[in-house]
Structure 1
Amino acid sequence: MIEVSAKLIGGPIFMPGSKIGCCITFTHPPLPSDSRSQSNSDVLENLAWASVQINCLCLTNDNINFPSVMCVTKDEKYLGNSETSFAPCLTDNGHVVLSTKPKILFCDVGLSPGENKSYLYSDTLPNDAPPSYKGHLVKYAYKITVGMQRLNSPIKLLRVPIRVVVIHGLTEGVTCENSIDLSPSNPFLESQYKHEECDMALQVLQNITAKRSPNFYNITNSRGKVARFCLFKQAYRLGEDIVGTFDFEQTDVSCIEFTVSLQCEEAVNKDFIAASPRPRKDNVSIVSYNTQHQFCANTLKSFLQLAIPLNVTPAFSTLLVCVKWRLHFEFVTSTKTSGERLDETKEGTCWTGPEHVDIETMVWDLPIQIYPSVPSIANDPHAQTRITIVI
């Protein structure tokens, strides 16, 4: 019996272009103290080989024709089977859209009772890697697969899930060619350019999301002005609060209540939707997360505060799907004056609301930008980063 464990270095969240590290340990548990003494050849556990690879699988529903140009592997039925060859995705559902080159950890290793050996696996994610995403129409899932085989035994796989976040629109052109060091370099030392590129992208991300530039919007319908909305900034990071204010003074229409929802819009490229005799709109999925509802009749000012969950996926776009974020507003307005506001100078005056109010409903969508948090902040300290199997 051999116990195999894999532990991620630096947490389970990574960015394209960053290096992924994983420590893989093979342990032969010590024999019980009351066991009979045996020769070394009888208790020695042998492993023929072990290899590691990173894969990204894309899963879609039945109404989507997956584009073949996004697949990076050929038909895997010619690769053999899972018992004789290392094919990490052979038995998985979905399409392989990213696959790194397999790296061999060792060949022909023997472990005595109580002995363990550790190996450090590292690889760099491509800059064009899609993010981890779990939508209604499309899903992207990453995993590090460790394949190993004992002598005269089938292959065993240890899968370690990871999360990849992408800074949409910032990965291109964030570096300057003039900043590349042209001095002589040591070919035996690892290049720091990739690390500098990732650090620069994070710096640009912090600069964009830290800017506070209030934007004002006059919300109107066919009868006139309903409210004035102020959003303090347009770009947010995961885990931040979306804060805004409503001003109902100097309006033409009385607003009775409003609802604001944080929504994610998932749109699949229409070119990949399966043909149907009936027109349909199943290429778009909208999911609401946090919602704020408030009655605001005779209210002069109100506020908005919505938290962005840490486990959602920021905006991104691939050949197959485009994900955007927005604030969805719903206003319930009165077609008539619903009564006069209380006058602060008239003490003791009683105001009675009408028994029946004729209302109208209007909706409005405001696009916003959501970016990932810095991986060191987004990493959950309680997240499971070590996975173990016994072979």
Structure 2
Amino acid sequence: MGRNDSMESVFRESVNDWSKFKRPASLSRKSSQSPIYPSPDTATSGSQRILWSFAQLGGTIEIDESLIKPHDFESLKRRLAYGDISGATASTNSVPSTPRTLGGGDLGHSSEPPPSPTGWSSYLRGPFGGRAQQHRRTGSTMQDAQERTLQSRSVPTFSAPPSIVAVDLVLAPGESKTFQFKLRLPVDLPPTYQGKAIRLRYNLTLGTNRSDANANSTRAQTSRLIQVPIRIYNHIGESGFRPFFDLMNPVILTKEDASVTLVSEDERPAFGAERSRAKVASRKGPSLRKQDLQEYTRQLLVSKAISEGSPVTSVPEFGGPAPAPAGAGTRSCKATIEALARSSSKVSYDIAKDGKVAAVLTLVRSRYRLGETITGVININNAHSLARIARMSATLETFEDVQPSIATLPAGRLQRVTRIIHAEHHESVLDKGRASFSLCIPSGASPEFVTSGVKLNWLVRLSFLTISATKPVGAGDIEKKLAKLRPPPHLLPTQSDGFSRYHVSVRAIDSLAGSATGLGAESAKALAELGCARETKLETVECAVPVSILPNSTSYKVGDAEFYA
């Protein structure tokens, strides 16, 4: 039986065959769009088509030319611009004399392609010499890359080639895709740092090129580039060793080592659900069970047994995972930092003035992590002190130690210029025998690191305002005269009463309040015979104690950050 096909059914079948790539061979080579037969890849209304997208990680260093001589860095720019990267990390298959500052180039495209003819005239002229629409390439030439490198204020410390995330990706209305980007970083990279002499930055660059079928021909493609600043911490070895980074030999990867994978629907994180669960958990507080306490006790017993054979061990966190047994393999950097911070013992320093111990400083630990608090105790104003301390101050500060060969200022002046105070404590200790202080380490600061040109140092600076005797010293041995001097007059023993005994029991030192309000002639003569001076002078004594600051190590999950482009 024959089939009575109408004109509409024939037209419908023809369009369906065209959409299924069943086009005639004579028309398959045409690049122009037919007004009758739409393109098979025409997206539905409201959908987004991403022609290409990429991700790239890079780090740069920027110097202050008023503090650091730029000659060596200008020489490095010329080496990078003209392809001389001897000592830098490059693949064996790389082409010589090629600029390496971009780590394999960029994916720059013009967002305004040249217009192409459309409509019936283009369709009719297609078989007779019609040309395909060309996308104008605006990627950098070698000369452009060299000029940008020489004129840039920053120098790369790490550069990797861009990694393709997706090509010709079509997203329906409301549809989303999640990709995971992984790249193993070199162990010698310095951390992110915003200082005065140098600034170390790391950025994750994301680029997309979208096609809008509803836009006009001049705006059919839109390119977007977003740079996400990220924080990187330096690597710490099991013995506390920090790798050395050479600023003149940046890490330039010419071979793509990053991996980009598509995350399935089951593995995709639900950002809204996680935030809602976090809010509910914060309101309810931590829920502790009896099993958690038993598990934590068991972990403590295991760590106690392991610590008998190893000098450094980490105490498990309450509710955290069980510690790995000895010999199970090299611990992670996070576990190493936690073990180094917990195993650090207390340290004591004697602070002397004029050859005599004026104060004794004791720090609870010598290593701290970002976000922790430095606690110290100072023993002062003891019976054998030559001077009495009236006021003390403690500051937590950093300074940049620049190599003299590239520094523009002397070391002392450069230290004062690059000095940054993070925390401070001031206290009057005139009638105290012991004082304590607490200095909080900012969690957003950078840990100490060392490079070929600049080193970041952390220290606790103590300043004491002392009261010393000013009795004139005659000719002879000055040291013997100073040794015979007694403490200032207010330290002379007075008649014991109820208040003095109360002051000793509370302050652990004698009261400064004497029984007499003034000194008469007889008292002055008695003081002179005892070797005490009537007049005193105020002096300032300063000292700096270095502390080791490690990167932050926490068992809490870092919150997700969202960026839109």
When normalised by structure 1's length, the TM-score is 0.71
Q: Secondary structure at the match of 2:405?
A: helix
Q: Secondary structure at the match of 1:358?
A: strand
Structure 1, unmatched stretches of 5+, are 1-38, 175-195
Deviation per CA, 1:267-296, whole angstroms, max 9, x where unpaired? 22333346x9x9994476111111111111
Q: 1:309–1:42: structure 2 CA closer, same or farther, 3 Å change rule?
A: closer
Question: Where does residue 61 of structure 1 map in the other structure?
Answer: 64
Q: Partners of 1:162 and 1:353 in 2: how far apart?
A: 65
Alignment of 1:150 with 2:210, yes or no, is yes
Question: Where does residue 352 of structure 2 map in the other structure?
Answer: 220
Does the CA-based 8 Å contact 1:167-1:371 persist in structure 2? no
**How far apart are 1:308 and its partner, in Å?**
1.2
When normalised by structure 2's length, the TM-score is 0.50
Question: Where does residue 187 of structure 1 map in the other structure?
Answer: none
1:335 alignment partner AA: S
Q: Considering only aligned residues, what root-mean-square deviation do their CA atoms show, in Å? A: 3.7
Higher helix share: 2
Select the structure with the greater relative contact order (CA < 8 A; seq sep ≥ 6): 1
**How far apart are 1:208 and its partner, in Å?**
1.9
Q: 1:43–1:361: structure 2 CA closer, same or farther, 3 Å change rule?
A: closer
Q: Partners of 1:155 and 1:272 in 2: how far apart?
A: 41
1:245 alignment partner AA: V
Q: Partners of 2:329 and 2:398 in 1: how far apart?
A: 29
Q: 1:344–1:115: structure 2 CA closer, same or farther, 3 Å change rule?
A: farther
Q: 1:380–1:344: structure 2 CA closer, same or farther, 3 Å change rule?
A: farther
Question: Where does residue 292 of structure 1 map in the other structure?
Answer: 425
Q: 1:130–1:376: structure 2 CA closer, same or farther, 3 Å change rule?
A: farther
Question: Where does residue 166 of structure 1 map in the other structure?
Answer: 234
Q: Which of 193, 198, 220 is equivalent to 1:138?
A: 198
Q: Partners of 1:124 and 1:75 in 2: how far apart?
A: 19
Q: Which of 202, 216, 235 is equivalent to 2:334?
A: 202
Question: Where does residue 313 of structure 2 map in the other structure?
Answer: none
Does the CA-based 8 Å contact 1:232-1:244 persist in structure 2? yes
Question: Where does residue 118 of structure 1 map in the other structure?
Answer: 178
Q: Partners of 2:347 and 2:389 in 1: how far apart?
A: 21
Q: Partners of 2:186 and 2:369 in 1: how far apart?
A: 23
Higher strand share: 1
Question: Where does residue 261 of structure 1 map in the other structure?
Answer: 395
Does the CA-based 8 Å contact 1:328-1:363 persist in structure 2? yes
Question: Where does residue 564 of structure 2 map in the other structure?
Answer: 388
- Largest Rg, 1 or 2: 2
Structure 2, unmatched stretches of 5+, are 1-41, 81-87, 89-98, 111-137, 212-219, 243-327, 470-487, 501-512, 519-533
Q: Secondary structure at the match of 1:387?
A: coil
Deviation per CA, 1:51-86, whole angstroms, max 9, x where unpaired? 10111121211233153559676466x979674349
Q: Partners of 1:369 and 1:150 in 2: how far apart?
A: 49
Deviation per CA, 1:104-146, whole angstroms, max 9, x where unpaired? 0122222333333332222222222220111111111111111
Deviation per CA, 1:192-217, whole angstroms, max 9, x where unpaired? xxxx9884333332222112533222
Deviation per CA, 1:132-178, whole angstroms, max 9, x where unpaired? 1111111111111111113453531122221111245658989xxxx
Q: Partners of 1:327 and 1:94 in 2: how far apart?
A: 32
Does the CA-based 8 Å contact 2:389-2:430 persist in structure 1? yes
Q: 1:113–1:259: structure 2 CA closer, same or farther, 3 Å change rule?
A: same
2:234 alignment partner AA: V
Q: Which of 336, 353, 364 is equivalent to 1:232?
A: 364
Deviation per CA, 1:7-45, whole angstroms, max 9, x where unpaired? xxxxxxxxxxxxxxxxxxxxxxxxxxxxxxxx8466553
Q: 1:334–1:252: structure 2 CA closer, same or farther, 3 Å change rule?
A: same
Q: Which of 322, 329, 334 is equivalent to 2:455?
A: 322
